[in-house]
């Protein structure tokens, strides 16, 4: 009986023996899904866009392993993950019909002041932004499932907008004469169907709440494949621009209709813009 008790206690102690393990993991990842510049314009409407992210990462982790008669099994590990990657975000804006007024523009002929009324019909634009993202996240890995939570810091690399062809109707109001000019095309007045040139949008450094979860497959003793879902949300206003007039008046005799350009709906009608991304991600990791 004593011998049986000793053997039982020894087996129990062996199965509960816990040792600490530490390691370094290097990875490359790619993901995609709904990846948008999220905003509510004062004029018109906006729609979320698609994009994604890719980059490289590094994780320092520490784990606990349990020794048993069948071998060593890692039960759980946790760590700190960082790296660098590129995030691509987009959106689309629509203005069915919008009229803007620019006041007190000097007439190029005699210097008289007039107000320019511009009506845009069927205006659409797409917006794109690229950020250099640096994550700082905690990782927990248990029974082949993993969970990550923390922050990403996005450094803006580029921002641009691309308008589609729209109808511009320009009218000049001379208040001192109580007179309107509406169809003098040589002066840039009348109705024109044209595409405004592409332009730039400026963004700030952005802090994002970042979550990720999924499953981990061990390919061999050093190589693993992570597959899961991720969610990022910007905690601050990403838009740098101070409000700009929507329509720019740059009339010239050589190109009367070409003198009318637009700024982005983001720059003119968006008070706040947040980054939001949700999608699927795959990560190939090498443990050293």
Residue 251 has pLDDT above 70, yes or no: no
Residue 53 has pLDDT above 80, yes or no: yes
109-115: average pLDDT: 79
Domain membership of residue 70 as a residue range = 16-287
**What does the pLDDT look like over 32-44, one tens digit per residue?**
999 999 999 988 8
For the chain, the domain total comes to: 1
Residue 2 lies in a domain: no
Residue 5 has pLDDT above 50, yes or no: no
What's the pLDDT score for residue 145?
93
What's the pLDDT score for residue 111?
73
CA dist 268 and 238 (Å) reads: 15
CA dist 71 and 58 (Å) reads: 28
DSSP string, 46-105: EEE-EEEEEEEEEEEEEEEEEEETTEEEEEEEEEEEEEEEEEEEEEEEEEEEEEEEEEEE
CA dist 257 and 166 (Å) reads: 12
Residue 7 lies in a domain: no
pTM of the full predicted structure?
0.82
CB-based contacts of 178, cutoff 8 Å, min separation 6: none
- The lowest-confidence range among 52-61, 232-241, 243-252 is 243-252
Residue 178 lies in a domain: yes
Residue 119 lies in a domain: yes
Of 122 and 130, the one with more pLDDT: 130
**What does the pLDDT look like over 183-223, one tens digit per residue?**
877 677 888 888 888 999 999 999 999 999 999 998 988 89
What's the pLDDT score for residue 107?
75
What's the pLDDT score for residue 112?
80
Residue 96 has pLDDT above 60, yes or no: yes
Residue 121 lies in a domain: yes
Instruction: Answer yes or no: are the C-beta atoms of 269 and 245 closer than 8 Å.
Output: no
Residue 74 has pLDDT above 70, yes or no: no
CA dist 262 and 244 (Å) reads: 10
39 CB-side CA count, 13 A: 27
What's the pLDDT score for residue 189?
81
**Closest among 125, 28, 47 to 85, alpha carbons compared:** 28
Residue 24 lies in a domain: yes
Instruction: For residue 156, count CB atoms less than 10 angstroms from its CB and return exposed for 0-12, middle for 13-18, buried for 19 or more.
Output: middle
What's the pLDDT score for residue 11?
42
Residue 154 has pLDDT above 90, yes or no: yes
Instruction: For residue 115, count CB atoms less than 10 angstroms from its CB and return exposed for 0-12, middle for 13-18, buried for 19 or more.
Output: middle
- The lowest-confidence range among 7-11, 102-106, 154-158 is 7-11
Residue 226 lies in a domain: yes
Residue 3 lies in a domain: no
Average pLDDT of the chain to the nearest whole number: 84
């Amino acid at each position: 009986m004593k011998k049986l008790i000793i053997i039982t206690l020894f087996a129990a102690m062996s199965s509960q023996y816990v040792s600490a393990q530490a390691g370094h993991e290097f990875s490359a990842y790619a993901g995609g899904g709904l990846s948008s510049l999220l905003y509510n314009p004062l004029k018109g409407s906006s729609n979320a866009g698609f994009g994604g992210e890719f980059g490289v990462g590094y994780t320092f982790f520490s784990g606990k392993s349990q020794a048993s008669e069948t071998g060593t099994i890692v039960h759980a590990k946790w760590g700190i993950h960082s790296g660098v990657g590129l995030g691509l975000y987009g959106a689309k804006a629509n203005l069915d019909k919008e009229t803007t007024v620019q006041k007190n523009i000097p007439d190029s002929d005699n210097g008289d002041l007039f107000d320019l009324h511009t009506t845009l019909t069927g205006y659409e634009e797409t917006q794109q932004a690229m950020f250099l993202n640096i994550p700082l996240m905690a990782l927990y890995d248990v029974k082949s499932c993993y969970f990550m939570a923390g922050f990403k810091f996005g450094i803006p690399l580029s921002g641009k907008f691309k308008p589609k062809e729209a109808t511009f109707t320009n009218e000049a109001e001379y208040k001192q004469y109580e007179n309107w000019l509406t169809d003098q095309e040589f002066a840039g007045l009348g109705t024109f169907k044209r595409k405004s040139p592409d332009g730039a949008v400026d963004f700030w450094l952005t802090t994002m709440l970042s979550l990720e979860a999924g499953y981990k497959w061990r390919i061999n003793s050093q190589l693993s494949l992570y597959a899961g879902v991720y969610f990022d949300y910007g905690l601050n206003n990403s838009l740098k621009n101070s409000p700009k007039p929507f329509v720019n008046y740059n009339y010239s005799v050589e190109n009367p209709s070409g003198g009318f350009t637009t700024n982005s709906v983001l720059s003119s009608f968006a008070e706040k813009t947040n980054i939001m991304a949700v999608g699927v991600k795959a990560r190939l990791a090498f443990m050293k």
